[in-house]
Structure 1
Amino acid sequence: MASAGKGQRRVLILVENLPSPFDRRVWQEATTLHANGYQVSIICPTGKGYEARYEEIDGIHIHRYRLPLEAEGAKGYLIEYSMALFHTFRLAWKVHFARGFDVIHACNPPDLLFLIGGFFKLLMGKKFLFDHHDINPELYEAKFGRRDFFYKLMVLFERWSFKTADVSIATNESYKKIAIERGGMDPDKCYVVRSGPKLDRLKVLPPVPALKRGRNYLVGYVGVMGAQEGIDLLLQSAQYLIQTLGRTDVQFGLVGGGTSLEQMKQMAADMGIADYVTFTGRVPDQQLLEMLNTADVCVNPDVANDMNDKSTMNKIMEYMALGKPIVQFDLVEGKVSAQEASLYAQKNDPIDMARKIVELLDDPARRERMGAYGRNRVINELEWEYEAPKLLAAYERLYSANAPLPGAVPPLRKESK
């Protein structure tokens, strides 16, 4: 392995919930840092198609470890996070001796990576950046429906993460508010870096008619098949649309994997709509793009709760980048992102969602207008190129006592093609 050049800035990114480069936000951050002169190493789990324990991709060093299971329930999460911490700490030493690092950039979940960041900060003088991807107390409440001892423990871990951090990154203004008010983070050290899409990946392609399974319309979804993603509500919408409204001309295409995938397939079968719903599981980008480019309308059925109300969903940005009109429940950050590119169903009301879908399917001119609005908003405001300078500003703050505050950003050097 090549050593860093003299004076080169060196970053170690820690991520537990997805492998790199599959995790798009992490990979965009890593490639942006690399393009601007940083040496970047990543520690992450293995995953389907990403089984190699070490590889170098586009100049970025990726170290992976294998987790024994995908957690469900408190015991499962305890095992998963304990193993992840052990392997991350082990591999951090490996990176330290091989190439070194000045900064640990920790992406949650879980909110336990401050233990590793704090260790290297306290004993070796490293900087610690906390990249706040998920609000885990709200995520716990969404999964388990209670605010008990473990919820309070999540709040404590979150606060310790911010207290350990030299700088933090929030994905939107709602997360920044939590960082400051609940996490005690200095506002001057908290930077908002949204998960803007990259248009060189999200390409507009010709539709694939076969994906409609002989029907006139396709409703598309991409995301995790988990408890808080509202796939059960989407299936209820599909059932109402097909069986009550008699719209047998609509196919639903659901792209993504997760712990609830098989359960959702069984639910569709029990509802008598399995023929109208395509579950692809996790698929390569090409198949994802084919499904979304073929869709007439895209949906986000995320359950209306504290977690989803405050979170910016990558799927919304991806739908907009591809020029697709959207139907979603009425959520604060969903509205901030999509604005006029979406219709907003009443919270957690699958019947209203079905009616909004039909409303768009029956109005092609409105679909085109909304899709164009969303794509233009991504091109002119939300694409990653507008967020990358904010990431670089956060790093300048880490490396320089006189660095610009969160409102100011340094110039961005374009990545080489």
Structure 2
Amino acid sequence: MGTVVGIIVEYNPLHNGHVHHYNRAKEISGAEHSIAILSGPFLQRGEPALLSKYARAEMALAMGVDLVIELPIHYAVQPAEWFAYGAVSLLEATGIVDYLCFGTESGSLLHLLPLAKQLANENNKMKQELNRLLDQGMNYPTAYSAAASILSTDIEEKEEVRQLLLQPNHTLALHYLIALERLGSSIVPLTIPRENAGYHDITPTESAIASATAVRKLILEDDIEAAAPYVPPYTLHIMRREFTAGRGPLHWESFRQPLMHLLMTHTTSELSKLHEVTEGLEHRIKKILPTLSYATVTELLHSLKTKRYTHTKLQRMLAHILLHHSKEEMSPTQLSDGPGYLRILGFNHHGQNLLKRMKKTASLPVVVKATTLNHDHLERDLQAATAYANAYSQPHTRDMYRDYYEPPIRM
């Protein structure tokens, strides 16, 4: 039947570094087939994707991925813990994935595997330390890395773990491993080191590999052609087609008007009920709005940012406000149930065979046509896609309601 490797991706956009990761994932796993879990219109760091989920799924298929499954927005726009849990749950639910391969800064799971085993069950000591550090005003990523390190008994190891978890890919990797533990999964984790470009690098190096951040910067501040050395030809072709049609590039300012309208017309009480609006941020928003010079999202984020609230935390909050996600529906109790379906975005010939296998093995409904399943999370996915397409420079009803009209991409 052939072994399968799973990858968890955003492809915003797909660049040469992603191609390297994909090829290495196939190589070190020895897998014959691949499945990608792809975030939809809004991403883990809270920002809107540059291009639609369909355009990015098409890039994945052009690269060689066999089957692309959408990560529901309930998990896509979340801190590492729930992002990882949702994505790994989907891979597990297919019943056919043998390996999970992800990138890390070190290319090693030496310290992460034992740490994941300790953290898979609620660790009160770590939780108390995390809350103590947060109460002192420390931001979440820094507090988490420090709190997790206390589980190590060796002083040198403590510092090594703390430094590891200050790097974003190590944090995600840890939570992938924790999710595998919690699910009792037999999927084998594998990691490969990031090469040439760091996660947050904003300028390309002389090599053909640049970070997604650097590639987006080139596209938004210059044009598509400036990114040409750092992306494969099919990514360039898809971006040219999409941008020419007015379907991108999207960024936070594309959503300025609807977002500002919501912030201005919601009361503090209404805002406080929305996900990620925590610790009085609703009052801070209302206080800052009248002081903005141009009422841009960039200016708002800059004004809201403090040592306690990271840019990422604030972006996620704005995404949940824009999409009106309540605290209740995004609570740990709700999220711990895991995704409720496997939504197919695209597949090739091999992917079609994987779908046939999944009909026998999947523990969740396999959704090829969105209208065939009634699920609260799926409804939120459809709403997010509609809101996203409404921000195009030339919004078209067919784009906004594509999920209802069109089948998955076949390549």
Structure with the larger helix share: 2
Structure having the higher Rg: 1
- TM-score normalized by the length of structure 1: 0.28
- TM-score normalized by the length of structure 2: 0.29
